[in-house]
Structure 1
Amino acid sequence: MSENTKIDFIYLSEPDMIKAGVMNMAKCVDTMESMFTLLHQGDYRMAGPNSDSHGAMITFPEESPFPTMPKPTADRRLMAMPAYLGGEFQTCGVKWYGSNIANREKGLPRSILMFILNDIDTGAPMAYMSANLLSAYRTGAVPGVGARHLARKDSKTVGLLGPGVMGKTSIAAFMATCPDIDTIKVKGRGQKSLDSFITWIKETYPQITTITVVDSLEDVVRDSDIVTYCNSNETGDISSYPEVKREWVKPGCFLSMPAYCRLDDAMEQNDVRKVLDNTGLYQAWFEEVPKPAHQYIPIIGARFMDMVNEGKLSLDQLEDLGAITAGATPGRTNDEEIIILSVGGMPVEDVAWATVIYRSAIEQGIGVKLNLWDTPELR
């Protein structure tokens, strides 16, 4: 039997990714929903001892004898995020995450990301792709999955902290799942980002009739049907994380939190439903970092793990979004309950959306075909 040892793969630039549909948020939300159901079924693997790790990150010391070694500045990340996903996907891959907040001074995004998609049998590369949009849209789509199941169906008003990339993709996902939204309240740090956000909203969603720039967190939260914090900050001082107070929160509010957040005591009580994108992710983080975990992982789910550790909360009081998408746990049960979703982000999300985009690119003949080898020199 003759061997076919030739391996070709495709390279997809950011323009190629756009052509292949990476910015199709409605389809991305549907893809993430399928992915979450597979998580509930257990048909996936990530890194770490519990197969739920966010990834492996290089850390740098505060002081080094090597003057060329990077400093541990804000959002300095060199990180690999591998995963396998079964079901309809049957692929694996890894996102390489390079990030430095100082990139903005150079006209670059804070993070510069690439993704490699692999065949699960041979491990051969199938695609090497630009991943900034891939990552941004899969991140935003998760709040959309949450809103589909956990927000009130008649939600009209969104309160947003942080009008950057994550804020835009979260809004896009809410618009894909809650078509009655017509009002956005937004708080940002600078006029430039606010102007960019407002222009984008007006051009993309003309059905939004009211856009209000607000000055306080209370104004973001109060009277909002959906609240999302998409801000960036520095970890370490939990008291500096933007707060949500129970007295601000409207009955029936859905809070989607993919970024820095802390809750007052009343918001931590048992009558507020606490949903995680994946409990195992936060358990892995909790094992990997010093305590309190929320000091190092600013996502609110890390605070929930600290509460479990402190005896203030039992693990079975936390719910998984995958159990909800799979129908094993109910979504919203009434119009008055307050529900908060912690969004940590997982490499299985990248694998899912990358697989869909790869198949679209192959079908449409998009991308540059590259050859790894016809016959490997060593085997």
Structure 2
Amino acid sequence: MIIVPEREIADLMTREAAFEAVEKVFAAMAAGDAYNFPVVREAIGHEDALYGFKGGFDQAGLTLGLKAGGYWPNNLEKRDIINHQSTVFLFDPDTGKAKAMVGGNLLTALRTAAASSVSIKHLARKDAKVLGMVGAGHQATFQLRAALEQRKFEKVIGWNYHPEMLPNIEKVAKEAGVPFEAVELDSMAEADVIISITSSFDATLMADHVGAGCHVACMGTDTKGKQEVEAALLQKATVFTDEVAQSISIGEAQHAISEGLITEGDVHQIGAVINGTHPGRTSDDEITLFDGTGVGLQDLAVAASVVDLAVEQGRAIEVDF
């Protein structure tokens, strides 16, 4: 079995490799060549933690496995480690033997950023100039770096529940040579692309905060009850997602469906746009929305990629298991 420790991931995995892996697996899902297993996600009754498993099988890439981990909200304050903790396990689909164990913390950040970046590539207007950020935590910095590579953005505007955290994303924007401005939520109407990356259980971004022609990537809702955007926004938008079943059960679409504003048939796979079986954006005034719930196949795709890189570079640890 191959082990790729967390400490090796930063030197092995690039944003470009993560983007390619996620884009390919989204396409495979839409083509019916890959599928996710049901998600297990539970509050464990200790440290306010949420713990669970996400897994799946990509028949096209012959990738089988799962990610185990979750969210420990007290980690940063109590232990000075990030709140999201996870490990990816890969198995040989021919034999079922354990194939690899891979540190999943940075990979999770990279694959989540890659997912929104894929949605921007395929759904945002080509002339998008203003990028809006709702959220300024650890994951927001990864989101912003990846998004800035997809269009020639001329300005980044940002809002966060805790304004003192906005320098996190301001620094990333300035490093990329793009001006940054802290704004109130109603100023998000100026944005051509908005990324929402919070852990909110109450809608923050409202329908009237989003202007015509905007592409919105909702990346924080991955649990029943969580909500980042007003349900009415999904009614106004053409809605895409990584996986429909997750979007309607644990993603943003859960709220719009429960309120009767949309149906399951109104939610489309982003992979269908990648494959060319869905037209995606059809006008400059259309609002598009990507509900990024985070699927196990994303984790497996980037983990398999990093294992290949580790072997190629002689940095993989091999153990008899």
> Shift of the alpha carbon at 1:35?
0.7
Q: Distance in 1 between matches of 2:51 and 2:90?
A: 19
Which AA in structure 1 matches 2:122?
H
Equivalent runs, 1:250-261 vs 2, <5 Å: 250-259=211-220, 260-261=227-228
1:70 is paired with a residue whose SS is coil
Q: Distance in 2 between matches of 1:100 and 1:367?
A: 28
Runs of at least 4 residues of structure 1 off by over 4 A?
none
> Which residue does the alignment assign to 2:35?
45
Residue from 110, 128, 138 that aligns with 1:165: 138
Q: Distance in 2 between matches of 1:100 and 1:255?
A: 27
> Which residue does the alignment assign to 2:223?
none
Q: Distance in 1 between matches of 2:95 and 2:277?
A: 35
Cα separation, partners in 2 of 1:196 and 1:315, compared to 1, 3 Å: closer
Residue from 92, 95, 104 that aligns with 2:64: 92
Cα separation, partners in 2 of 1:119 and 1:201, compared to 1, 3 Å: same
Deviations 1:13-46 (A, max 9, x none): 223112222xx21232222111111101111232
Which AA in structure 2 matches 1:95?
K
2:94 is paired with a residue whose SS is coil
Deviations 1:162-198 (A, max 9, x none): 11232122222212221x1121111124455322332
CA contact (8 A) 1:144 1:173 kept: yes
- Would you say 1:145 and 2:129 are equivalent positions? no
Equivalent runs, 1:1-379 vs 2, <5 Å: 9-21=1-13, 24-47=14-37, 53=38, 55-60=39-44, 70=46, 73=48, 76-87=49-60, 89-106=61-78, 107-178=80-151, 180-190=152-162, 193-203=165-175, 205-206=176-177, 208=178, 210-214=179-183, 216-219=184-187, 221-233=188-200, 235=201, 240-246=202-208, 248-259=209-220, 260-263=227-230, 265=232, 267-269=233-235, 272-283=237-248, 285=249, 297=250, 299-307=251-259, 310=260, 312-372=261-321
Unaligned runs of 5+ in 2: 221-226
Unaligned runs of 5+ in 1: 1-8, 48-52, 61-68, 286-296, 373-379
1:243 is paired with a residue whose SS is coil
Q: Larger Cα Rg: Structure 1 or Structure 2?
A: 1
Question: What's the Cα RMSD here?
Answer: 1.9
Deviations 1:243-284 (A, max 9, x none): 3233x322211011112323264x344x5212222112235x
CA contact (8 A) 2:237 2:287 kept: yes
My pick for the range that moved more, 316-325 or 222-231, is 316-325
Deviations 1:186-223 (A, max 9, x none): 112445532233223333x12x1x10112x2212x121
TM-score, structure 1 normalization: 0.78
TM-score, structure 2 normalization: 0.91
**What is the percentage of aligned positions where both structures have the same residue?**
22
CA contact (8 A) 2:130 2:193 kept: yes
Q: Distance in 2 between matches of 1:158 and 1:223?
A: 9
Which AA in structure 2 matches 1:262?
V
Cα separation, partners in 2 of 1:140 and 1:366, compared to 1, 3 Å: same
